[in-house]
Structure 1
Amino acid sequence: MAPETSANVYDSHVRARMIDFFTLEGVPWPRRLWDVGSLLALQELLEASSWARHRVLSPAAVDWQRHQLLKVIGPDVGLGSRDLRAELTSLLGQALPDPSPAHRRLREVLEHARAGHLSRWATAIAQPEDRRPRPERLARVVAAHLLDIGYDANHLAAWIGRLAHQQAGAEEILQGAIALDTAAPREFTVLAVFNKVPERGQAESHEMWVSSREIAGWLRQRGHATSGLRAGGGFLYRVNARDPFSAASHVRELVERLVARSSFMRGSRGGIRPASQMWVDQHPEPIPFAAPTRGADVLSLFSQGRLYQVGGQRTLFDDALELAAPINRGVLGPAVAGAWAAIESLLSHPDDPAEQERSGKAVAADRLAAIIACSWPRAEMTALSHRHQPPTPDALAERLAVCETNQERASAVAEALAAGATLDPADRFRRDADIAAVHRMRRVLSEPRKELGTAVTVLRIALRRLYRTRNIVLHGGSTQGVALKAALRIAAPLVGAGLDRITHAALVESLAPLGLAARAEVGLNLVGGETGLSVVDLLEPRH
């Protein structure tokens, strides 16, 4: 094994974080990707200005978005260092109504920024070690960019998995990402099979229709098993996509549109019923028709034994959980609308003061961001406590062995990290991800207000993006927003985390959501100060 050097640590950090960002199942919310790339954020701003012209979004909401974007694009070296950056900064410093000269100029500048974005990052990481961007930022930028341009997380997980197996360095990863970025979308043939096909005559007249006999032949020619398949027919779609999984995702959306149409049929309310799998030509395995869950978990319902306790009078939490339920697997429009309805019902109040920089009920997003940011260190420290299993028990392991609660475990890890201790998990794959978490938590412990403030900013942007997309869906009547998929992908685990904390506070303390939000906002201002408030106790009641 190669000796552990700073370069090896940098490379393993980048690989581990990208594995986290592309893994759809089993990665907890604190280790997921919380933001989109700068290029999509700029495109989103252009779109928001157009929606403001139609009065779907307010000018105040667009101005807030523009001001926040001006702050967050600063560390993105992919946006240039001189002329390009100066032009972007100048444009983001002024209003961008659509139409206007500034709006048209930003659209042009965006195309200049798009060309060579990852190449500029490749140049940045070729610098001497002390001038390299942080591995965390590099991993986030590359992962967000590849997802934003249309690659599916499953495809990217396989790609980074191969590079991790080869112990590829950051430079090699960047070159691979550049190759993916510059590769043009290609045509895929996707077989969508249906178990039930009402109004069969209309289906059979479609040029892409294939009979059950033709389906069996198509599958056998490509080496797929047909035993147990009971197909009523299907369609062979041809779609342009970045990879086989994104092609399947595109066809999944087409079929969901068919299912939505068929639900309006008289006398056949079951409608079209797709099979459980799809097949992409030249892809070796069938792809599940059901989309992967989006990762919104409310674990307090299980830990507090309340999963089946739904009798009696409905509560605000019952309504919120029911509204938010589509966020995990529902189609885009209802998922966005339901998730935001749950947030707004819990974290807004008629007496909220009107503020210039807030639009509508955006205060609910800000409050949820504070709650999630306060729960982040505790969640990470608790996970690290369960991963700390050195071959020979050390002082931390001995202390963890007698801890009775997660709060005690998180506090033990926080104190050990602050004192300079390291974690030594047994298996290498998780070790890289845990060491990356150790680096993040050490920064939080050393500068809690700064690091938590940064987290709040990122979370607030993500949740206000969800609010904007909800307004575009409900008030604009459109599910075609440039950031709609990204908004839901990013926000779903965060909404789950926030609802989990709100539910826990209600079940354990009978604390209302607005009370928890107030505790979080105060905690963010006092952490690390004269009160001795710890980063793992930000949502705990003070005794």
Structure 2
Amino acid sequence: MQPEEPAFAEHILARLTDYFLSEGVPWTRRLWDIGSILGLEELWEACEWQSKKVLSASAVSWQRSELQRLVGPDRGMGDRELRRELMTLLQSGVVAPSPQHRRLRQHIDHAKVGYLDRWAGALSVQPFVKPERLARTLAAHLLDLGFSAPYLAQHWVTHLRKANADTRTIVESAAVLAAQSEQMHEVLVAFARVPKGAAIANHPRWMPSSQVVRWLQDNGLSTSGVRPAGGSIHFISARDPLAAAAKAREVLERMVARAWFVRRGRGDLEPLDKLWVAGYPAAISSETPSRSADVLSLAHNGQLLDITMERTIIDDALELAAPINRGGLPGPAVAGGWAAVESLLTHPGDPVDDEERGGKAVAADRLAAIVACSWPRAELTTLIHRHTGDDELSGARDRCETNHDRSAVLLAELQNYGVGRLTFARRPTRRSDAAAAERMYDLVRDPRRVLTEVQKAAQIAFRRLYRARNVVLHGGSTSSVALDATLRTSAPLLGAGLDRVTHHYLEDQLEPLDVAARADMGLRLVGGETGLSVIDLLQKPGPRNQPGASARPSGMALPAGTAGRAEPPSTPDADPQEAVLEPATSAQGEHG
């Protein structure tokens, strides 16, 4: 039966907040999926790219097979006719052009209308659904429709939380939101410097500085500190004002990119650091937010500025992947991100198969294994730092010298007592922390199943990144229907994988392919007769001492397989994972 409200609704709202916030949320809690409707749209488009020899038949077949697993249990696809027809179509195979391809288009159009309404109706008949699944479904569908994550976090989720909305209200509110059509938004982009001459001034949308200031005043916006050299107005159709601003940033990026191709005044088109949407009360940053591909080991290992003339494969990979965070244009971000993956995790000796071009998709699978092995310790590290209270667990944590030992203490707590003694009091994240603790408890009870699910989710995200790269480079297109969603879902995972590869290369001199092999073996052996623990999946196998033994109070046993990792004495926290925080004690706050 359905868990009791309001805890169930609070769980959903906490996860929605995780999915929509861009800063301060660990990669372990981000949204890695796209929704069923966008997945079908992506398949329909992929069939066309297959007909143009941009994607291979086996790549599209793999995509279609995974999509069946996503769509099959989706209640938004209906209970009978719509779901049955769609599954039959997917199982039969779809190519373009063909009657099946045209039927798929019709199925998508029918499924899109009332998708969340069907979810609401299904919950009234069969109320039980896991809160994680429901939160992912709502978040992915709204983001796929084009709503901006900041708008959903700041306005929609905040309103629901203030209203103490129950689960039914949350789903019905999401359905109402999804039914709204796009609105036309008037967006002003302004520049601090512009090229000399008449090329810009003669453009019909161009406004001199005086008109820019007047527009701001007419729209009730502050002009304090605004010193424009000119600007332009853009009418953008979008789901919300912040989504319109995001589209305006893409326009701005393209304008600046074009300005680098002129002979005189090359690079002289310099935008202001803010833009404005008519009707929205505040200025909005004109800089594209980071996509949160974080490689924290560079800083924690003291390697951020340690650049020598001798380049390494890590230097090359990080340079290739830099557009993931640094640039707003999706094409270079997708191409560079995948190039980094392929450069690190493929080898000429790899068996050539027909999975996707030359078997390079094996790099996606290898990186997914590394990410899955990184996930437990990253989340456990976050949770042990955020546990509050003057209790046995806090004392054991505070006596530990390394994050490995701290996570081992929490793992023992989960194995011995479950989540009942954990306390999270930090107001912004306490419900999210509680939900994460439940996921870790599921992991403790069935590590192979849970890690397989994590690996599969990461594999799908990375294979999508590879297909998007092929469309960009071989198809010459940056207008793919799922391009933005590809970057949104894969970037945090890419950062997590690069972080682990970088750490082991710098600290252990372990080659990326060897890290992948270790990850693959770890997923096969975890929880088995070797005693391999979920926090040691990427560690070198061998005899183990008992880490943190002196920090462990009487009666608190470390979990099997956590023993014995040699730590560099001068840098006890040199292995930060993704989620390392400033040590949190009862007298000290935490970052994140």
Where do residues 107-122 of structure 1 align in structure 2 (5 Å cutoff)? Answer: 107-122=105-120
Deviation at 1:114, TM superposition (A): 1.1
Instruction: Report the counterpart of residue 374 of structure 1 in structure 2.
Output: 373
Between stretches 106-115 and 345-354, larger displacement belongs to 106-115
Matched to 1:151, the amino acid is F
Matched to 2:487, the amino acid is L
State the alpha-carbon separation in 2 of the partners of residues 473 and 359 from structure 1: 14
SS in 2 for 1:328: helix
Instruction: Report the counterpart of residue 334 of structure 1 in structure 2.
Output: 332
**Length-normalised TM-score, structure 1:** 0.96
Where do residues 233-244 of structure 1 align in structure 2 (5 Å cutoff)? Answer: 233-244=230-241
Instruction: Report the counterpart of residue 142 of structure 2 in structure 1.
Output: 146
Where do residues 288-437 of structure 1 align in structure 2 (5 Å cutoff)? Answer: 288-330=285-327, 331-360=329-358, 361-390=360-389, 393-419=390-416, 420-422=418-420, 423-437=422-436
Deviation at 1:502, TM superposition (A): 0.3
Instruction: Report the counterpart of residue 479 of structure 2 in structure 1.
Output: 480
Tell me if the contact between 2:388 and 2:425 (Cα under 8 Å) persists in the aligned partners. yes
Indicate which of 35, 38, 53 corresponds to 1:37: 35
Tell me if the contact between 1:60 and 1:359 (Cα under 8 Å) persists in the aligned partners. no
Evaluate the alpha carbon distance shift between residue 421 and residue 96 of structure 1 in structure 2; reply closer, same or farther with a 3 A threshold: closer
State the alpha-carbon separation in 2 of the partners of residues 227 and 395 from structure 1: 54
SS in 1 for 2:59: helix
Identity of matched residues, %: 50
Instruction: Report the counterpart of residue 452 of structure 1 in structure 2.
Output: 451
Deviation at 1:154, TM superposition (A): 0.9
SS in 2 for 1:274: strand
Instruction: Report the counterpart of residue 134 of structure 1 in structure 2.
Output: 130
Matched to 1:59, the amino acid is A
Matched to 1:528, the amino acid is G
Instruction: Report the counterpart of residue 442 of structure 2 in structure 1.
Output: 443
SS in 1 for 2:272: strand
Matched to 2:54, the amino acid is V
Tell me if the contact between 2:55 and 2:356 (Cα under 8 Å) persists in the aligned partners. no
Indicate which of 51, 58, 61 corresponds to 2:59: 61
Tell me if the contact between 2:424 and 2:434 (Cα under 8 Å) persists in the aligned partners. no
Deviation at 1:162, TM superposition (A): 2.1
Mapped pair 1:222 → 2:208: no
Between stretches 221-230 and 209-218, larger displacement belongs to 221-230
SS in 1 for 2:309: coil
Deviation at 1:167, TM superposition (A): 2.1
Instruction: Report the counterpart of residue 152 of structure 2 in structure 1.
Output: 156
Deviation at 1:170, TM superposition (A): 1.6
Mapped pair 1:267 → 2:264: yes
How many residue pairs are counted as aligned between the two chains? Answer: 535
Tell me if the contact between 1:124 and 1:132 (Cα under 8 Å) persists in the aligned partners. no
Write out per-residue CA displacement over residues 438-491 of structure 1, whole angstroms, 9 at most, x where no aligned residue.
111111111111111111111101001011111111111110000000001111
State the alpha-carbon separation in 1 of the partners of residues 489 and 413 from structure 2: 31
Mapped pair 1:26 → 2:24: yes
Deviation at 1:127, TM superposition (A): 4.3
Write out per-residue CA displacement over residues 100-132 of structure 1, whole angstroms, 9 at most, x where no aligned residue.
11111111111121122111211233346xx51
Deviation at 1:72, TM superposition (A): 2.2
User: Which structure dedicates a bigger proportion of its chain to helix?
Assistant: 1
SS in 2 for 1:354: coil
Instruction: Report the counterpart of residue 531 of structure 1 in structure 2.
Output: 530
Matched to 2:391, the amino acid is D
State the alpha-carbon separation in 2 of the partners of residues 137 and 154 from structure 1: 21
State the alpha-carbon separation in 2 of the partners of residues 301 and 216 from structure 1: 44
Deviation at 1:199, TM superposition (A): 4.9
State the alpha-carbon separation in 2 of the partners of residues 317 and 346 from structure 1: 8
SS in 1 for 2:322: helix
State the alpha-carbon separation in 2 of the partners of residues 207 and 269 from structure 1: 22
Write out per-residue CA displacement over residues 382-409 of structure 1, whole angstroms, 9 at most, x where no aligned residue.
100000012xx22211211111111111
Indicate which of 151, 167, 171 corresponds to 1:170: 167
Tell me if the contact between 1:126 and 1:132 (Cα under 8 Å) persists in the aligned partners. no
Q: How well do the aligned residues superpose, as a CA RMSD in angstroms?
A: 1.3
Tell me if the contact between 2:56 and 2:356 (Cα under 8 Å) persists in the aligned partners. no
State the alpha-carbon separation in 1 of the partners of residues 263 and 203 from structure 2: 21
Deviation at 1:356, TM superposition (A): 4.3
Between stretches 194-203 and 271-280, larger displacement belongs to 194-203
State the alpha-carbon separation in 2 of the partners of residues 74 and 452 from structure 1: 22
Indicate which of 44, 50, 58 corresponds to 1:46: 44
Mapped pair 1:12 → 2:21: no
Matched to 1:310, the amino acid is I
Matched to 2:484, the amino acid is K
Tell me if the contact between 1:240 and 1:247 (Cα under 8 Å) persists in the aligned partners. yes
Tell me if the contact between 2:330 and 2:487 (Cα under 8 Å) persists in the aligned partners. yes
Deviation at 1:147, TM superposition (A): 0.4
Instruction: Report the counterpart of residue 494 of structure 1 in structure 2.
Output: 493
Between stretches 531-540 and 199-208, larger displacement belongs to 199-208
Instruction: Report the counterpart of residue 561 of structure 2 in structure 1.
Output: none
Deviation at 1:359, TM superposition (A): 4.0
Deviation at 1:229, TM superposition (A): 1.8
State the alpha-carbon separation in 1 of the partners of residues 46 and 404 from structure 2: 42
Tell me if the contact between 1:78 and 1:119 (Cα under 8 Å) persists in the aligned partners. yes
Deviation at 1:228, TM superposition (A): 2.5
Matched to 2:186, the amino acid is T
Matched to 2:376, the amino acid is P
Tell me if the contact between 1:375 and 1:539 (Cα under 8 Å) persists in the aligned partners. yes
Mapped pair 1:188 → 2:185: yes
State the alpha-carbon separation in 2 of the partners of residues 497 and 185 from structure 1: 35
Matched to 2:140, the amino acid is A
Instruction: Report the counterpart of residue 125 of structure 1 in structure 2.
Output: 123
Tell me if the contact between 1:124 and 1:133 (Cα under 8 Å) persists in the aligned partners. no
Deviation at 1:345, TM superposition (A): 0.3
Evaluate the alpha carbon distance shift between residue 127 and residue 95 of structure 1 in structure 2; reply closer, same or farther with a 3 A threshold: closer
State the alpha-carbon separation in 2 of the partners of residues 212 and 403 from structure 1: 60
Tell me if the contact between 1:191 and 1:234 (Cα under 8 Å) persists in the aligned partners. yes
Deviation at 1:206, TM superposition (A): 2.2
Matched to 2:502, the amino acid is T
Deviation at 1:513, TM superposition (A): 0.5
Instruction: Report the counterpart of residue 102 of structure 1 in structure 2.
Output: 100
State the alpha-carbon separation in 1 of the partners of residues 516 and 266 from structure 2: 43
Matched to 1:450, the amino acid is R
Matched to 1:119, the amino acid is D
State the alpha-carbon separation in 1 of the partners of residues 503 and 539 from structure 2: 11
Unaligned runs of 5+ in 2: 543-592
Write out per-residue CA displacement over residues 228-286 of structure 1, whole angstroms, 9 at most, x where no aligned residue.
22211111111111100111111111121111111110021223211111010010000
